[in-house]
Structures are given as C-alpha cells and as structure tokens.
Chains A and B, each alone.
Chain A
Amino acid sequence: MILIGENIQILSKVVSNALKEKDEKPLQELAIKQAKAGADYIDLNIGPARKDPEVMKWLAGVIQEVVKKPLSLDTTNPVAMEAGLSVCKIPPLINSASGKQESKEKMLPLAAKYNCDVVLSVLIDAGIPTDSSSRAEAIMETVAYANEIGIPNERIWVDPIMMPISVDQPQVVELFEFMKILQDICPGAKSTLGLSNISNGTPEHLRGILNRICLAMLDRYGCFSAIVDSFDEELVKLAKGQLPDIKNLIYRAMDEEVDTSSLPKKETDIVKTVNVIMGRSLYSHSWLET
C-alpha cells in the first residue's frame, strides 16, 4: 500500500511557525524522518494559505532539496496549488480536488495542465454524501467531468472521506461498502483517504490501534493508498506486509466471529477493534474494555 506521510501539516505548531518564519530546517527534518520511516509520498498541508499562496512554492522547493520522494501538495487554494506545481521535479499529487463546482473549475484543470495525479474526493456542493450509493453517485459524476477535461481514471485517486468513528460509526461502515464497489464504478481509478480521521475524537492512546486495523481492512478492499502518521511504526510495517500474523487475524475477524476467550490481550483487542469498525458492536471510547 502506498503511504502518504501526513506529518507536515499546518495544524502542527512546529509546522505553522516554520512556515511563518520561512525556517526550512524543521520542515526538512520532518520530511527526511518520514521518508526514512517508510512514507512513499510527503504530504505538504499548508491549509487554505489565503495570505501567502506562494508559500507552497517555497515549501515544495525546500522539501525536494532533501528527499527524493514525490510530494502530495495539500491545499484547497488553487493559486497555492499552482505555485507548488510549477516547481516540482518529480510529478506530484494534487491533494485535493472535489466535485464542488469551484474545485471542478479551478483545481481539477491543474491536473490536466501539469499532467499529474489528483486526489478527487466524494465531496460535492451539497456536502459529504451520507451513504455508499450517494458516494457512488457523487464520484461518478465528478470522474466523468475529469475524464472530459482529459484526466483518465488511472490518474485519479478517489477519496471516499473517512469520518470519525466516535461521531458517526455507520458512516465508517458505508465507506467500506463504497470501497467494495469502487472498481466497478470507476475501473482503474486509484484510491486514498485521510486514515487518522477515523480516530479523531477517540482518546489519544487508543487512536493507533483504530488507525492500524482500519488500514489493514482497507488494504483488503483494494484501497490503493492512505494518508497516515508516518511515525506509527507498526502501522507502516502492517501496510508494507511485514506483519502477516496480525494481518491474517484481522482478515479472519472480518470473515467470521472469532472466539476471543483463549486469545491473548493484544489479539483480543484486534478482534474487538475489527468488530467495532465493521459496525458489529456499538462504538464507545472503552470498546476494548467490554
């Protein structure tokens, strides 16, 4: 699975200060560390960057000085996006466009113009679709539009939009349903999503296990990539196929009801987490304790 490292993002204090001061050191360090940890792409999330769209150009420049990984340019601002695109040496990923009218008009054409891959989310003007079939409907329309302006399915990374399980557990189940049918409705399209969003709102010490198990489950449904915390070592190993026993247990728990009475704690926790993500048991912050 392709991993996009999420650790350079505007909500982090270190990152926002460094961007403001144009201090490349901490940002370059973060990029190097992520590449070393196993990230295949380095996400550069600068937010909307309304005041200073040119910051993306500077950031992309300083990051590609130190890592030979493709970048994922992450902003909703098309001006900032183009500033970044104009300097990338390796074709980057546009993260992201959506089915919103404005995005279709201003962001999506950049993927055609610069001949690069683009993340296309299921978001439309009416909002985030609430079930798998409305996700399908939304993305088919946006993908058709992208095809028309010269972007083939193979260059589109569909983002089904992960919702926090603590807020709306049924939405997580719907997302999996959507992943199952994605290849039927958009043959050849790739996929990606903001994995850590599933554990947004979950107690900090429990976020890792949710993220990791969800990733393995997505992998099984053919999800091509995910935007992840590069510094979660176990997650990276799992995504790269280095933990076959855990992966097999996750798959088994997806297929059948696993009797946990004789399993050690770590494996019991895995089974319980699969059950919560699949919507078999009602989520609460103490799902591992019941």
Chain B
Amino acid sequence: MQLNDFFEPYKGETKEVAIGPSGKAVKLGGEQTLPFHAFEGKEGAPVRFALEVFDAPPEGWPEHLRSSYADVLSDPVAWADKCTNQYGADLISLYLSSLDSENADPTKIAEKVKDIADHISVPLIVLGVGDKDKDAKALVEIARVCTGKNLLLGPLVKENYEEIAKAALEGGHSIIPQSPLDINLCKELNVKLAKFFPKERVVIDPLSAAIGYGIDYSFSIMERVKQVAVIHNDEMMKVPMVANIGKDCWKTKEAKEDKTQGILWEALTAFTLILAGANLVIMRHPESLKLVKKLVSGKE
C-alpha cells in the first residue's frame, strides 16, 4: 500500500494562463491541488511576483520605500529595468498614476506603455487607477496600440468589462476582472466574460486587503475560490488569482512609520494570500519581495 492510495484526486484544474509575448512569456496557474499541497496533486506554475512601476512619480511614499527607487522614480523604463535586473521581479506591474492628472491623454499614455513593454525583458501588467471611465478609455487605447504583446490589463469591473475585454480580445491581451470582496459577484463577472472571452486569458482579482485592514475577508474569499475551483470543479472559477497588495500595505500607518515593520507588513500580507491561493502577487518594496520569495521557496 502506498501513500497515494489514501488520496482522492481533486477534480478541478485551474487554467494555465500565459502572460507576455512568446519568448518572454510567464505562465500562471495550472494547478490541480490546493496551495502547497504538492503531495496531493499537480502544483502548476510557481507563484509569480511582480513589482510596481508608476508612470508618473509617486507621492506620499515613506522614505524607506522611496529610497529603493530614488534614482528612477521619474523614468518608468529605468525603474522597470531596476525591478527586473536588480530586484528579481518576474513581471512588471505598471500603475497608470498619470490618469489621475487633469489632462491625461490616453494616446500618449498608450505610447509610453508600448515603449516600456518593448524595452523590458519580462511580461507587463498594466493597471488603471480604479476609475471606471478613465480606466476604460486608457486600457482600450493601450490594448490597441500594444497589439500582440499579450499584456495583462486591469482592473475590469462590472461597469466597464465589456469594452475593455473586447479591446483586449482584439489586441491579444489577457485581463484582470475585479470584484468587490464578494465571491458570488466574482463568479457573476466570470460568467458574463466567459460568453465572449477565453478563460485561458483571465486572472481574477477578488480584491486584496492588508494585514490588520481586512485581510481576513480577502483570505476567506480567495481560499473559497480555490476550493470551489479545485475541489468542486466549478468551470467558471478555474482561473488563476492575483493579489495586488502594494498599494494597500504601503498606505497603512504601520508600514509608513518603520522600515522593518513595513517590509514585514507587505511580505506577510503577500505570504498569507499565497497560502489562500494567489498565483500572482503585485508588490512594492524589493526587500519584501525578497523575503516572501525566500519564505515560499522554503530554503534557509
């Protein structure tokens, strides 16, 4: 009798999603077991880590975060290079903070995104600011200008998913539908998207919160999404998940007031959500990234 005889195989396998153009694509998901349960089934692609780059110099960052990027804050291309070459990011997540300015021009923004995507050696995630109209305008334009680059575009919400997803479909990109910490609404958006958008190009964002600021809600929902996908084989939920945590971690008082505390706050928020089932984590501080990578690898 072998150990395997005691296991009942899981029914569901999450879709494997490839981000980035061929040659530098990175795969997400494809697992047929719960997080870190390699002994029960196929683990799929390893958890991937993205570092954030802003397309306009960020404001309000504490010095112990700023200092890691002090020389590149106003040059997104150099910033992205630093994240990949020096800090070991698997992907770059470009935050379109310039959309917040009065005279934001989607065409110019899209050109800039293209420059970055062309230049960097890793796949690119492009995230709007969470304003449904501004995001839709910019992301649709970016999808067109960057055709064929297989960007990961988001967030898509129930008010703007149709136009962004259509543009992403035409431009050959992947998307991040986002739902407001509600597993039923999460499924609802997936169902609507599945009518015209391939699931192999979807990474869902059930919305992440930082430690001490509601992470328990995020954890329960992500955990349930993974269970519903892997254990119950729910067709609509078998997609990888992203935990976008940089923003929420670095606005906490705890992260802002002390360097060690901030790094731990972000690293442990990331690790907690990886335990819940995140396949991709978007982070901000290079040292938090290093720490959580070490934790996940189990070395040392």
Contacts and interface: CB of A to CB of B under 8 A. Distances in A.
Interface in A273-290: 280-286, 289-290
Nearest to B195: A289
Most chain A beta carbons < 10 A, residue from B188, B194, B232:
B188
B120 interface: no
A281 B184 contact: no
A200 interface: no
Contacts of A191: none
A169 B183 CA distance: 10
A282 B187 contact: yes
B181 to A, nearest CB: 13
B15 to A, nearest CB: 16
Contact of B192 (A166, A280, A282, A286): A286
The binding surface of chain B is classed by DSSP as helix
Contacts of B187: 282-284
A290 B235 contact: yes
Most chain B beta carbons < 10 A, residue from A283, A284, A286:
A284
Interface residues on A, range: 10 to 19
A259 to B, nearest CB: 15
Contacts of B228: 282
A281 B192 CA distance: 17
A284 B232 contact: no
Contacts of A280: 232
B40 interface: no
Contacts of B183: 282
Interface string A44-65: 0000000000000000000000
A166 B194 CA distance: 20
A282 B188 contact: no
Interface string A251-271: 000000000000000000000
Contacts of A282: 183-184, 187, 228, 232, 234, 236-237
Nearest to A279: B232
B191 A289 contact: yes
B184 A283 contact: yes
A281 B190 CA distance: 14
Interface of A: 166, 169, 280-286, 289-290
Closest 3 pairs (CB-CB, A-B): A284-B187, A284-B188, A286-B191
7 contacts: A166-B184, A284-B185, A284-B187, A284-B191, A286-B191, A290-B194, A290-B235
Interface of B: 183-188, 190-192, 194, 228, 232, 234-237
